[in-house]
Structure formats: C-alpha cells, structure tokens
Amino acid sequence: MSECIGINTDRLLLRSIRPDDAAALFRYRSDAVINKYQGWIPKTIDDVYDFIENRISPTIDLINTWYQFGIILKERFEFIGDVGIHFLDEQKKQVEIGCTLDFYYQGKGFATEALIRIIKYVFFDLDKHIVVAYIDPENIKSIALVERIGFKKDKLFKESNSKYREWPDDLVYSIIKEDWIARDCSPRH
Ligand SMILES: CC(C)(COP(=O)(O)OP(=O)(O)OC[C@H]1O[C@@H](n2cnc3c(N)ncnc32)[C@H](O)[C@@H]1OP(=O)(O)O)[C@@H](O)C(=O)NCCC(=O)NCCS
C-alpha cells in the first residue's frame, strides 16, 4: 500500500505523487528542450502513468528506489513541479535528490523553498547523513540551485551513467548533515 506524505512550507505543499497528477506532470516534464538534462522525458501520458505506478516506489526510504514528491502551489492548488529522492546506500545513509519545475514557475524561489524543506526532512525525519546531486556541467540553473542552499562541488564524474545522451560528464555536489546544521539555514521546524 502506498504511503501519502505531506509536508508544508510557506507557499508550498510537498506531497507524494499520485496517478491523478499524471496530466500536470506530463505538461512540464514532456518538454524535451527545457528538460534536456533530465534522464526521463515522457513521450505520452501513458509513460507518466507507468512512471508513477511502476517506476517510483510507493514507500519511502527503500534502498535503490526513487520516491517522488509533487510540489503544489498552495495559493492556486496548482501542481508546479516535483522533487525525487533516490535512496542509495543504507550504511552511509546517502540519498540523491533531483528537482524539476514547470518553466512558468521558475525564477520565483519555489525550487529553493521545496529543496530546503525536503533536505530538512531527509536529515531530521529520515536520519540520513549525506545528500548528493548529479548535475550536468551545463545545467547552470541546477548548479545555482544547489549552491544557493549550501551544497559543495565534490568532483567531476567523467562519463557518468546518465541516459539522456551518450557518456556525459556529471558534476557531483553534496552536503552532509553536520554542515547543513552549521549553515543554520534549516531550522528543524
Ligand atoms: C533546476 C530548476 C528546478 C531550478 O529552478 P529555478 O526556478 O532556477 O530555482 P528557484 O525556483 O529556486 O528560483 C530561483 C530564482 O528565483 C529567484 N527568486 C525569486 N524569489 C525568490 C525567493 N523567494 N527565494 C529564493 N529565490 C527567489 C532567485 O533569485 C533565482 O533567480 P535567478 O535564477 O535569476 O538567480 C529548474 O531550472 C528546472 O526545473 N530545470 C529543468 C529540470 C532540471 O534540469 N532539473 C535538474 C536535474 S536534477
């Protein structure tokens, strides 16, 4: 049975993605130009149903699976983006994150607000130790996003295993819980 998790920020509700989000997700995720650095670009709405029903986990914190939150703008009850958490490693308590916003809602701080809250949830509710992000070196907006919230560049991952083009490089960014707390940008409540 799938879990439904809901987390609030000032402007947003971050909640588990559901099949009835498919149309909204398809609208912004299917744009291959805006999402050129993404590994998954749906061609039909059935691809989105398959993604929600079969390719992401209905349960949070399962190793080797992605859990996906929708980003809902509370003021308009509008679904404007998504945040994925990839549970990588139990021992090192390591997760990967990724975020996509509808182009219309970019440039307003919504991704920053969503990620800060999700990372807080990952560190304090799920008790993880490190959050990483794999980013194409040309994906300027994503680099700005993670640097804005305190991630540091670890390394260039040559010929990383992404699917959107052949043998791309990825930058690996990360933040550990201790540094997140020290930055004091993340009150616990
Ligand atoms: C990555 C992505 C989510 C970043 O979105 P974004 O809109 O740049 O990020 P935010 O929503 O946090 O907005 C930040 C911008 O809003 C501005 N802003 C306005 N109000 C703000 C507020 N209240 N708080 C913070 N920033 C605010 C910031 O100054 C910044 O502007 P700038 O880009 O001119 O510096 C988006 O580019 C995207 O979806 N890209 C396609 C998918 C993708 O490649 N994802 C990455 C793969 S993991």
The three-state (H, E, C) secondary structure of the chain, written as one string: CCCCCEEECCCEEEEECCHHHHHHHHHHHCCCCCCCCCCCCCCCHHHHHHHHHHHCCCCCCCCCCEEEEEEEECCCCEEEEEEEEEEEECCCCEEEEEEEECHHHCCCCHHHHHHHHHHHHHHHHCCCCEEEEEECCCCHHHHHHHHHCCCEEEEEECCCCCCCCCCCCEEEEEEEHHHHHHHCCCCCC
How many angstroms is it from 150 CA to the middle of ligand 1? 14
CA atoms within 13 Å, Cβ hemisphere of 102 = 16
For residue 114 and ligand 1, the question of a CB distance below 6 A is answered with no
| Nearest CA, atom 10, ligand 1 | 109
Please write the tens of the pLDDT for every residue from 95-153: 999 999 999 999 999 999 999 999 999 999 999 999 999 999 999 999 999 999 999 99
pLDDT score recorded for residue 90 = 80
- Quote the mean pLDDT of the chain: 91
How many angstroms is it from 28 CA to the middle of ligand 1? 15
pLDDT score recorded for residue 155 = 77
| Nearest CA, atom 1, ligand 1 | 142
Residue of 100, 115, 117, 172 to mutate, ligand 1, most atoms within 8 A of C-beta: 100
How many angstroms is it from 153 CA to the middle of ligand 1? 18
Instruction: Inform me whether the pLDDT recorded for 159 exceeds 70.
Output: no
| Nearest CA, atom 27, ligand 1 | 109
pLDDT score recorded for residue 187 = 47
Q: What is the pTM of this model?
A: 0.93
Instruction: Inform me whether the pLDDT recorded for 167 exceeds 80.
Output: no
Please write the tens of the pLDDT for every residue from 98-113: 999 999 999 999 999 9
For residue 112 and ligand 1, the question of a CB distance below 6 A is answered with yes
pLDDT score recorded for residue 162 = 52
Instruction: Inform me whether the pLDDT recorded for 166 exceeds 60.
Output: no
Instruction: Inform me whether the pLDDT recorded for 45 exceeds 90.
Output: yes
| Ordered domains of the chain (ranges, CATH) | 6-183 (3.40.630.30)
